[in-house]
Amino acid sequence: MAQRPILVTGRKGQLARCLHEVACQHGRPIVALGRPDLDLEARQDIDKLVASIWPSVIINAAAYTAVDQAESEVAKAFSVNRDGAAALADVAWQMNIPFVHLSTDYVFSGTKPDAYDESDIPAPLNVYGASKLASEAAVLAAHPLATIVRCSWLYSPYGANFVRTMLRLAETRPVVRVVGDQVGNPTSAFDLATGLLQVIARLPSIDRRTSAGIFHLVGQGETSWYGFAEAIFDGLSRRGIPVPKLEAVTTDEYPTSARRPRNSRLDSSKAERVFGVRLGAWQHSLDVCLTELLSTAGEADAERNCSSWRQRNAAVPDHTGGQQTVAPGL
């Protein structure tokens, strides 16, 4: 009998693309779906679609992630992040399919002086964070054995993310100003994809009550958005690429529609205890990402489109305020 595939939602997002690539490298069958085939706001045929694939596990990486825009699109953010995720989790529960749901560091206020663990009480500062917190409760209500994974500060060669924005700004601006008083754990989407595949590989051998609930999974080490930008520009300089002057600014000097937590650090020790999964140091993974992005030959991406790093970095939103912005679907 052929191995049942992994089903990933949010096909165009950076995490879904990395999951697809890593799974293919390891010979794991995987199906990635997104709009229009799977639209979490058009939920009437989700059960039929999932039944037609009959996956071994569902990883929900689809989300409304426009953090600032969510402040004026509250209903849409909750429709996708809470209601859509709950509908998908309900289908998974009815079909006895393990369900992994991605959440975010933005469920926290950022006032804690140390890294947040899973026992800390969430208090989101913005609509996006509130919608993702609501999604956690809704998913667990629909699928009591679901595994929820909170991640943070995702970057990769794909989608809209901080690393790609810094590369674009290195070409277009003499001075780049980045927020220096927000700290977190930069996380490679490739590392997270690898970690998630390790998690689901261990699900059959772990008591499902132990694997259910909320887990944090982020890159090892911490920095500010300014420190992250410094590391990116240092990587460019070591490769002989001119870089702009970098200046630190405060959160108050860079106002945004949605408030951001000053502290986004997450403690991933629970995931290591339960699943034996620990992501690598963010500095090393950043270097790997830069090598991929700066390859002059270009690599075939997850959709088999060959492009140079300049083409990949075209038309990426500005992140110089240090805000966490990820591609649709994470």
DSSP β-bridge partners for residue 5: none
Quote the CA–CA distance of 38 and 35 in Å, as a whole number.
Answer: 5
Quote the CA–CA distance of 32 and 5 in Å, as a whole number.
Answer: 10
**Which residues does 305 contact at the CB level (< 8 Å), separation at least 6?**
none
Pairing of strands 6-9, 213-216: unpaired
Quote the CA–CA distance of 10 and 63 in Å, as a whole number.
Answer: 7
If you write DSSP's letter for every residue of 87-101 in order, what string do you get?
A: HHHHHHHHTT--EEE
Q: How many CB atoms lie within 10 A of CB 258?
A: 19
Closest CA to 166 of 34, 275, 56, 322: 322
The catalytic position among 64, 106, 128, 158 is 128
Q: What are phi and psi of 89, to 5 degrees?
A: -65, -40
Quote the CA–CA distance of 52 and 140 in Å, as a whole number.
Answer: 24
Closest CA to 191 of 286, 107, 266: 286
Quote the CA–CA distance of 164 and 10 in Å, as a whole number.
Answer: 20
User: Is 128 assigned a catalytic role?
Assistant: yes
Where in the sequence numbering do the catalytic residues fall?
128
